[in-house]
Structure 1
Amino acid sequence: MNRRRALKALTGLALCPLCASAVFAAEGAHWTYEGTTGPDNWGDVDAASKVCSVGSQQSPIDIIRSIKAQLPPLRIAWGKTADTIVNNGHTIELKAAKSSTLTFGGGPYRLLQFHFHRPSEHLIRGKRFPMEVHFVHAHASGALAVIGALMAAGKPNPVFSKIIATMPMQEGETVKADPAINPNDLLPARLAYYRYPGSLTTPPCSETVEWLLLIDPVQVADADIAGFAKLYAMNARPAQNANRRDVLRSG
């Protein structure tokens, strides 16, 4: 997951679901995806980001094996539009409609925003996909749940095409989202998923995330992947050590 906005709490602090700006990056910290400020050095960004280097439940991971389990279905009740699109310097992010929720056994979790990575952050048995979209949800308790959808090259996805056509080109620029951008249409038809406990995939790397990675990828056009790459050719954290965490699989 990606964000430059302020985090005003120490690593592991419960996160306010109404404060989308608090979900991701350490306040005032500068980090990138390469060089001296890249992933190998995120733990040195500031005190709040130390867990990036010392944490034991970091994300993303390579899902090599999984355990079939009776997991609750993902009950998605998202609005059919997005609010705004911002180029935040690390990715393209869309703020969600306020009424959008997710439940999976408990909840509800409110959808805060969704954003994109190229290539995919999660791997499946060593395979990396062209892109991945993360739908970030927060519970009133401060717990986070992120639905990840892997993106494969194939037939065009009209919603992703619209995002690429209208995304801001300048860092820090925010625009009103086109009404045709329906986040529901960025999901595959089947909502079977992998589940494991993990972290944010950007500083401060807080280990407060329930990961729900969809098994089936969603298809998008090669041209749209290339369009995103003009802004962000690479914005994916390398796979982290699974540290014997069990990955459960529904369906």
Structure 2
Amino acid sequence: MTAFRKSLQICSISLCSAGLLSTPVLASEAVQWDYGKERGPDQWAVLDNAYQACGNGKNQSPVNLQNSLETDLPALTFNYQPGAEKVFNNGHTVEADYMPGSQLTLNGNSYTLRQFHFHSPSENTLNGQDFPMEAHLVHSDKNGNLAVVAVMFEVGATNPVLSQIWQQPLTAGEISEMEAAVNATGLLPAPKDYFRYNGSLTTPPCTEGVRWLVMKQPMTLSQQQLSSFQGMLSGPNNRPVQPLNARQILK
């Protein structure tokens, strides 16, 4: 990273970086939420009327991936260019916004990569088992429809992309510029098999209508990388799994 580091008040990932607001909202102006007891997931729905879907939504994320239906899912085509130049700690996660020009193609529809961020432990689970970390790569199409590619991480070999992203800890509100633009391709496993389900944002306002694409093959990160990420937060930043209700998980 270069010497460029500064404090910054940043809106929540679900409101600004996922493209749901056209202008940033400073954290001081937004309703504060977190992952604790008083303002955590169990309380999100009552913190603000705009967050009601967190409590009464029927297609909420994350979910436990089990009893999935075998089907012929369309291939995912990734065309990513180096595009992550800055990384920041918004108090809820460590996130990197992405420059325009990188696409995911699904069913002939093109989604632009907008940002990626991380959760530890994982939010989605597989047969009731969580993973040490999960990356969310957030995309939107020309109509504003969202598609999130989720990648699980196991402790193992060092991940080169993560080494570029957090070379040194960032405190809440800090932003840092990377030495060279990072290519998010390094966060994706080689096999592109995936689970698919309809869900929501996993943070307030928990907006539904999000297409979730969870990669079957996990990636690895070192224990040092995992500890570094966890040390930048005040505790776990995962929303508990939500009821599947009438939804079907496809694979």
The alignment's TM-score, normalised by the length of structure 2, stands at 0.88
Residue in structure 2 matched with residue 174 of structure 1 by the alignment = 175
Offset, 1:180:
6.0
Residues 98 and 212 of structure 1: CA distance in aligned 2, closer, same or farther (over 3 Å): same
Q: Deviations over 1:22-53 (max 9, x none)?
A: 8xx9x611101011100001101211110000
2:22 aligned with 1:4: no
Structure 1: where are the runs of 5+ without partners? Answer: 9-14
Residues 141 and 211 of structure 1: CA distance in aligned 2, closer, same or farther (over 3 Å): same
Residue in structure 1 matched with residue 140 of structure 2 by the alignment = 138
Residues 32 and 193 of structure 1: CA distance in aligned 2, closer, same or farther (over 3 Å): same
Residues 113 and 235 of structure 1: CA distance in aligned 2, closer, same or farther (over 3 Å): same
Residue in structure 2 matched with residue 11 of structure 1 by the alignment = none
* Counterpart-to-counterpart distance in 1, 2:72 and 2:190: 20
* Counterpart-to-counterpart distance in 1, 2:179 and 2:72: 38
Offset, 1:170:
2.3
Residues 89 and 196 of structure 1: CA distance in aligned 2, closer, same or farther (over 3 Å): same
* Counterpart-to-counterpart distance in 1, 2:153 and 2:24: 26
Greater than 2 Å deviation, 4+ residue runs: 5-8, 15-22
* Counterpart-to-counterpart distance in 2, 1:91 and 1:176: 17
Amino acid at match of 2:12: R
* Counterpart-to-counterpart distance in 1, 2:220 and 2:14: 33
Amino acid at match of 1:173: E
1:60-139 pair list within 5 angstroms: 60-139=62-141
Aligned residues: 239
Residues 227 and 67 of structure 1: CA distance in aligned 2, closer, same or farther (over 3 Å): same
Residue in structure 2 matched with residue 208 of structure 1 by the alignment = 209
1:159-170 pair list within 5 angstroms: 159-166=161-168, 169-170=170-171
Residue in structure 1 matched with residue 159 of structure 2 by the alignment = 157
RMSD: 2.3
**1:161 aligned counterpart, secondary structure:** helix
* Counterpart-to-counterpart distance in 2, 1:157 and 1:6: 26
Offset, 1:158:
1.1
